[in-house]
Every structure is written in structure tokens, then in C-alpha cells.
Amino acid sequence: MQSIEDFIKILELKRYSKNTINSYHSHLRLAKLHFEGKKMKDISDRELFEFIYHLVNVKKISSSYQRQIVGALKLFYKEIYGRTIPFEYLKVQRREQKLPVVLSKEEVQRIIDRIDNLKHKAIIALLYGSGLRIGELLALRKNNIDSDRMLIHVKGAKGKKDRYTILSHKVLDILRAYYLQFKPNDYLFEGQKGGKYSSESAGQVFKRSLKKAKINKRATLHTLRHSFATHLVEDGVSIAHIQKLLGHSNIKTTLIYTHIAQDALYKIKSPLDN
């Protein structure tokens, strides 16, 4: 495992995000387990191909997971052994264009209304009201909230980029009530023993609130971000502005929300009705 640990140290030195490092570590440990103790440097290109083939055709992994594990293995062999693996033919050539799950405005409001705990209510309302990723929200400190300009300063987000996103007046009211009750010391949302609130706990809160609101969609915390973007499109906000609020480096990523928005689609009548 030493070569894998050395690789992780390289990623840390190159300032890869914690999520990326954890993901790559997991993929490499899976490969190591598959080859039953065989040294990573002794695994041939053909064996690596068979490993990926096994994951795709037996384990039925998704195309996104396939891209991740191929990328992890390719970078690992390049950094540790200076070896170029001909992985080009293993890459997914076309991305599956699956549209994300989106909640309606009414469903979001029902979810928030079903939450009694002020900390939990503030987390869910802020995720939706500002379009934040859960990692971005949990990294927020008190001074990242600019109530004068009604903006949130998101620091070191995906791609190590800072950005500003909007702050809802309704969310600000919830945050103020939450702050008076919980009095966080450092991070805006903290666990019972201090430090960052956990994403697992936030996920459980959301899962329970979905059940209370009697919503059966396969929604996650990230669904709130998708819903934020989709509702902005429906409200006539430009894609360029939404891209900035979400922190997307490529506008093509943001354009997916135009396929979900109901701006004019719900007004179109079926020819059968005419």
C-alpha cells in the first residue's frame, strides 16, 4: 500500500481537494483489493483493462464512476512509476445526459416548513436559497455572510475558486434566529462538540424532512442546488448570471437547467387537446 500512500501525499502537495483525494484513494484501494495483494507496479495494461471491463460489465458501474477510476489509475501510474497507461480506449466517449431531479418551489417550502430545529432549518433553507454545495455551506464562517450587500462569500469552492452568491432575506431572518439560539464560535454551522457540522448529519436531516413533507422524489441535498438553478431559469434570470452564482467554469454545465425549466413548456398544449 506504500505506493498508494505516496500518491496521496503527492496529491496533498499539489493541493487537490479533500474530496478528490478521498475519491482517488478509494478507487486505488478497490484496484489493490481486486488484484489480491499483487504489487501495483507489476499489474499489466491488459490486467487493468480486464479490471475496468469487470467493473463495467459485472459490477454495472455508472459511466461517471468509470471516468473517475480510469482517471485515478492513469494519474497514479504517471506520478508514481512514470508509466503512461493507454487508457484512451477505456474512457466513456459520450456522457449520459441524465437530467437531475428537481423539486418545485412548493415542495421546497413544504420541506423547510416541516423542520422545527432552527439549525436544521437554516442549513436546508441556505442550501436552496443560495444554491450552495453542501461542502461549501459547511465551510462557511460567520464573516462570510454579508448582510449589508445580501451576498455570501464562498471561499475555496470547487476548483479552488472564490465566488459570491445571493443571500435570501427569508434565509437571513432564519440565520439571525439560529445565531441567537446556537451562538456558533467559528464555523457558521458546528457540530455538538465544535468544528464543522457533518455532511452525513445534514443528509439525514434532509431525508427526514422529505418524509415529513410526503415527497417521494429521489432527492438529495444537491437536489436543492439543482432546484435553485432551475427556478432561476424559470424566473427569467440569464444563464450567464446563474453560471456565476453556481461557480461553474463552463457554461455548458449550467445550460442543462434550461432543459428542466418549465418556462414555456407547461403552456404548450398537446395536439390531441386541440
The domain spans of the chain are 2-90, 105-265
Does 22 have pLDDT greater than 60? yes
**What cell does 21 get?**
483525494
Long-range CB pairs of 11-17, under 8 A, 24+ apart, other chains included: 15/160, 17/158, 17/160
Task: Tell me which amino acid residue 255 is.
Answer: L
Q: Does domain 2-90 bear CATH number 1.10.150.130?
A: yes
Query: Would you place residue 172 in the very low, low, confident or very high pLDDT band (cuts 50, 70, 90)?
Result: very high
Reply yes or no on whether the pLDDT at 25 is more than 80.
yes
Average pLDDT, the chain: 90
**Percentage of the residues of the chain whose pLDDT score is greater than 70:** 93
- pLDDT of 149 reads 95
Q: Which amino acids are annotated catalytic?
A: 133, 158, 222, 225, 248, 257
Amino acid sitting at position 91: K
Whether the predicted pLDDT of 225 surpasses 80: yes
The model's pLDDT over 108-163, given as tens digits with 9 standing for 90+, comes to 999 999 999 999 999 999 999 999 999 999 999 999 999 999 999 999 777 678 99
Architecture of domain 105-265: Orthogonal Bundle (1.10)
pLDDT mean over 195-218: 95
The reported pTM is: 0.71
Q: Tell me: the pLDDT tens digits for 85-113?
A: 887 756 565 555 678 899 999 999 999 99
Q: What mean pLDDT comes out for the span 249-258?
A: 87
